[in-house]
Structure 1
Amino acid sequence: MVGILKRRGGAVLATALLAAGTIAGPTAAVAAPVPSSPTILPTQVVINHNVTFGGGVPVGGWYSLSVFPSGSFNYSGHMHDSGAPSYNLAGVCVVRFNNGTAFVFQTAGRMHGTFESGSRDYNWNSNGTNQSIRDAWQASGGGWNASCNSKVNADIGALVNSTIQGVGYVAQVIAVVG
């Protein structure tokens, strides 16, 4: 499941599942951009994604990003290295509201394999409130687009830039978690 957008509508709560594929490369897992709906204002942006890597990379896990009209957010996840070599993870989610303001949520960490001492797991949980999210949500009427990418042994800066390009026109970029 890549994304769920909860929408309000009187006594009925409709849930739309937005499906997207994962691009499997030797070191990449990508969640495709998630389109927004201009007719029904969302009560939250929720992106959930299971991550697997192709090319024999023994790393997998999940991440979740929730963003709310109040400006509050939660970006969390878990990755596990089940192989012999160690890996560095770079993970990025970008949420762009229809007013052109994009918010970057990113994480980076190391998972140790059999050949190196240390934890095989990398976990993160970042939450808070950002006034700029609330302002952008209101200015755009809640319309949004999102893109998320994960890579191992990659440059986080390049991953952030390519993920920002995946959400379309951006007038302003605000780093929220970094």
Structure 2
Amino acid sequence: MGNNMNYSADVSEDIKKSVLKRRGAAALVTALLAAGTLAGPTVVEAVSAPSHAPGSAALLPTDVVINRDVTFRGGVPVGGWYSLSIFPSGAYNYSGHMHDSGWPSYNFAGACVVRFANGTAFVFETAGRMHGTGESGSRDYNWNRSATRHSIRDAYQASGGGWNARCTSKVNADLNALVNSTIQGVGYVTQVIAILA
């Protein structure tokens, strides 16, 4: 009977140690997130509401997937959507649709910056014109770009999948200024790789 009691005590000690290790690991992850060492998806958009709470994080995701509806304030009659998917293989797809339903024409500029935990930032940018009622031409601006980049695959592997992102969309704005401000929003960057759509 004494042996059984010792065995039970040993099992209890092992369970206690396991629980303490898990608590320690959870505390470490929380501290790393707070310090900005680890980052999950956080999307900020000047003209469209995010579909999840700012600051929500998914540690070490398999894929980067950002889908947003876009509307503009101030009575601007332009709206649409965009989607960005990036995969550990290095494959990506950046697509979207914007529509001008008003009288004036507009130039659209959009940028998504995805910074992996190793500091490499990928800039997905697009720009195009939508014609209003007062000008001949298409009311729509569409883009769809898919390819595979070894540099994306390498950044995934070097970062263990950790990433942070920021996307912005504007009308009648300078694309270069939009891209630069979006890059600044993702934190410290060691390398920038541009991908045009």
Structure-1-length-normalised TM-score: 0.81
Deviations 1:100-139 (A, max 9, x none): 0000000000000010000000000001001000000000
Q: 2:123 & 2:194 partners in 1: Cα distance?
A: 5
* Aligned residue type for 2:157: Q
* Aligned residue type for 2:78: V
* Aligned residue type for 2:190: A
Tell me: CA distance 1:158–1:21, structure 2 relative to 1, closer, same or farther (3 Å). closer
**Does 2:178 match 1:163?**
no
**Does 2:96 match 1:101?**
no
Contact 2:92 2:147 in 1 (8 A): yes
Aligned to 2:165: 146
Tell me: CA distance 1:21–1:71, structure 2 relative to 1, closer, same or farther (3 Å). closer
- Mapping of 1:114-133 within 5 angstroms? 114-133=133-152
Contact 1:35 1:145 in 2 (8 A): no
Distance apart, 1:80 and its partner CA:
0.2
Cα RMSD, aligned residues only: 2.1
Q: 1:63 & 1:126 partners in 2: Cα distance?
A: 12
Aligned to 2:6: none
Between Structure 1 and Structure 2, the one with more helix by share is 2
Q: 1:155 & 1:33 partners in 2: Cα distance?
A: 26
Q: 1:94 & 1:21 partners in 2: Cα distance?
A: 11
Give the alignment partner of residue 67 of structure 2, picking from 48, 51, 55: 48
Deviations 1:11-44 (A, max 9, x none): xxxxxxx7867544xxxx5769766544xx3221
Between Structure 1 and Structure 2, the one with more strand by share is 1
Distance apart, 1:87 and its partner CA:
0.2
* Aligned residue type for 2:175: I
Give the alignment partner of residue 84 of structure 1, picking from 103, 108, 112: 103
Contact 1:61 1:80 in 2 (8 A): yes
Structure-2-length-normalised TM-score: 0.73
**Does 2:187 match 1:176?**
no
* Aligned residue type for 2:79: G
Q: 2:184 & 2:133 partners in 1: Cα distance?
A: 36
Distance apart, 1:154 and its partner CA:
0.4
Contact 2:46 2:168 in 1 (8 A): no
Contiguous gaps of at least 5 residues in structure 1: 1-17
Aligned to 1:73: 92
Q: 1:92 & 1:162 partners in 2: Cα distance?
A: 10
